[in-house]
Structure 1
Amino acid sequence: MSDSAKVTLHFCHECNNLLYPKADPDRRTMVYACRICEYNAIVDNALVYRNDLLTVTKEQVGVVVDLGADTTLAHSVIPCPKCLNEDAVFFQDQSKRKETRMILFFVCTRCNHHFVDPSLSANGAMPEGVET
């Protein structure tokens, strides 16, 4: 990150208290203003808050330690691709991204194998980036 993109704290030159961003309607600009005294400083960089989001490359099940024994998860009759057991618990994908639809992850109650609905990958409906 370059120095111009960093968000820093600014302090009053008069009383050493924290300066807060404030709009100055007369000058039509942003200033840093002290809430204790009347000190104002014109802003060099108008960046007040920066929220960098990291791109998620693929959905993953996450921690699946003994989810088959979790009594709060719903059960489904779906064959496990690994051991062919037809009892699995399922839960929803935890991402909040708007560009992908809901994904259900299944965990076999016998072997703890995690998988997604095989019909999604069979008919080409599997969203891109989902780990099967």
Structure 2
Amino acid sequence: MLCEYSKASLHFCQECNNLLYPKADPQRRIMVYGCRICQYDDMVENKCVYRNDLLTVTKEQVGVTTDLGADATLAHSNIPCPKCGNDDAVFYQDQSKRKETRMILFFYIGVHDYNAVVITVYFVNICYPSKFQRHFPVRHCEI
């Protein structure tokens, strides 16, 4: 069986109930699951030892947050918004561990219009440290 179609699972020793670890058997030239306590080993049907499923993709969307402008722990910027002219933006860096998204800044600009808060989100790639206005906004969403 291929690893992408099978599930990696834990195997336990039939003699002492300890965890079996994958190891190579050089005499038989196969992979076996072996016990580190009692030297029991079991032949492997499923050769999948570890499977890393990356099913969740970080969405570049706004969560249900309406008080980002009042959060004192986030950094503030005084660069004016090219759309509305508001010069108070809250920003933070993307927290995902994926290589292609780790240098993304999220800018939240709160605009008060008739007591309704509209949050504008800008995704700025800071790999290109040119003037902020040249690549602002890369992507624009309003909720």
TM over 0.5: yes
- Alpha-carbon distance between aligned partners in 2 of 1:102 and 1:16, rounded to the nearest angstrom: 46
Tell me if the contact between 1:75 and 1:88 (Cα under 8 Å) persists in the aligned partners.
Answer: yes
The aligned residue for residue 115 of structure 1 is 121
The aligned residue for residue 30 of structure 1 is 31
Given the superposition, is the C-alpha separation of residues 14 and 101 from structure 1 closer, same or farther in structure 2, using an over 3 Å criterion? closer
Tell me if the contact between 2:58 and 2:96 (Cα under 8 Å) persists in the aligned partners.
Answer: no
Given the superposition, is the C-alpha separation of residues 21 and 101 from structure 1 closer, same or farther in structure 2, using an over 3 Å criterion? closer
Offset, 1:58: 4.0
Percent identical pairs in the alignment equals 62
Offset, 1:100: 4.6
The yes-or-no answer on 1:7 pairing with 2:11 is no
TM-score (normalizing by structure 2): 0.66
Given the superposition, is the C-alpha separation of residues 108 and 99 from structure 1 closer, same or farther in structure 2, using an over 3 Å criterion? closer
Q: Deviations over 1:33-89 (max 9, x none)?
A: 1122121111111111111002527422435331111222222122274x5422111
- Alpha-carbon distance between aligned partners in 2 of 1:96 and 1:79, rounded to the nearest angstrom: 28
- Alpha-carbon distance between aligned partners in 2 of 1:54 and 1:131, rounded to the nearest angstrom: 25
Tell me if the contact between 1:80 and 1:86 (Cα under 8 Å) persists in the aligned partners.
Answer: no
Q: For 1:68, what is the secondary structure of its paired residue?
A: helix
Matches within 5 A, 1:4-83: 5-54=6-55, 56=57, 58-77=59-78, 78-79=80-81, 81=83
- Any gaps of 5 or more consecutive residues in structure 1? none
- Alpha-carbon distance between aligned partners in 1 of 2:24 and 2:140, rounded to the nearest angstrom: 47
Using CA pairs under 8 Å that are at least 6 residues apart, name the structure with larger relative contact order, 1 or 2: 1
Tell me if the contact between 1:67 and 1:107 (Cα under 8 Å) persists in the aligned partners.
Answer: yes
Structure with bigger strand share is 2
- Alpha-carbon distance between aligned partners in 2 of 1:26 and 1:131, rounded to the nearest angstrom: 61
Q: What value does the CA root-mean-square deviation take over the aligned residues?
A: 3.0
Q: Count residues with an aligned counterpart.
A: 123
Offset, 1:103: 2.5
